[in-house]
């Protein structure tokens, strides 16, 4: 695994809804890339306080486990849109327990199937969310805040190689999509 792809406190990310995952992967097959992992099941537990303080502050805390890769991550996003930090952990169950001991509650459990590819300095994730759809995220992480705008332009250019346009761009996080789906089911 190429950890340098996931170093930095800022993440520039563009997420696109895919009309055809098969067509997307076909285009990828003609672009030089490395495979980090394919078809991993990711299970995310999102945490917040009882009064939803993190949500109100536009922050997100998640413990993620990935199988069969065995990767376990502690992920914090926000409050800025591009702010994202993740660290590898060895014991996801203990991390969840520690958060609950500190007063955090699990507010959402979500799963998706994810594949991760490296194209030059960028990473592309291809995600399938049950009952929601297929998506491709084009991203790069950096500590250099001055590069955010330039990287966004680079990612838009890369996405265009796949035929993706602004009309397919998604601004909602997966967490928001899952929460909306849960609300629909409860109505």
Q: Which residues are catalytic?
A: 46
DSSP assignment of 92-122 equals HHHHHHHHHHTT-EEEEEEEEEEEEEEETTE
Q: Is residue 99 within 8 Å of 47, Cβ to Cβ?
A: yes
Q: Are 12 and 151 in contact (CB under 8 A)?
A: yes
Q: Record the tokens describing residue 41, joined without a space.
A: 């099941």
**Cα angle 114, 43, 8; round to 5:** 65
- 63 neighbors 92 (Cβ within 8 angstroms): yes
Q: Is 32 exposed, middle or buried (0-12, 13-18, 19+ CB in 10 A)?
A: exposed
Q: Check whether the bond before 79 is cis (ω within 30° of 0).
A: yes
């Amino acid at each position: 695994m190429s950890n340098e792809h996931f170093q930095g406190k800022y993440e520039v990310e563009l997420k696109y809804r895919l009309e055809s995952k098969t067509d997307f992967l076909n285009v990828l097959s003609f672009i030089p890339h490395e495979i980090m992992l394919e078809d991993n099941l990711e299970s995310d537990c999102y945490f917040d306080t009882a009064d939803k303080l993190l949500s109100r502050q536009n922050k997100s805390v998640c413990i993620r486990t990935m199988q069969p890769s065995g990767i376990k991550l502690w992920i914090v996003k926000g409050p800025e849109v591009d702010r994202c930090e993740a660290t590898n952990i060895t014991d996801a169950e203990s991390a969840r327990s520690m958060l609950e001991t500190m007063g955090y509650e699990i507010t959402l459990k979500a799963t998706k199937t994810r594949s991760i590819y490296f194209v030059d300095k960028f990473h592309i994730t291809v995600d399938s969310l049950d009952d929601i759809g297929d998506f491709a995220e084009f991203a790069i992480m950096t500590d250099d805040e001055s590069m955010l705008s330039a990287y966004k332009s680079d990612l838009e250019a890369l996405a265009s190689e796949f035929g993706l346009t602004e009309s397919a761009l998604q601004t909602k996080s997966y967490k928001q999509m899952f929460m909306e789906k849960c609300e629909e089911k409860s109505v």
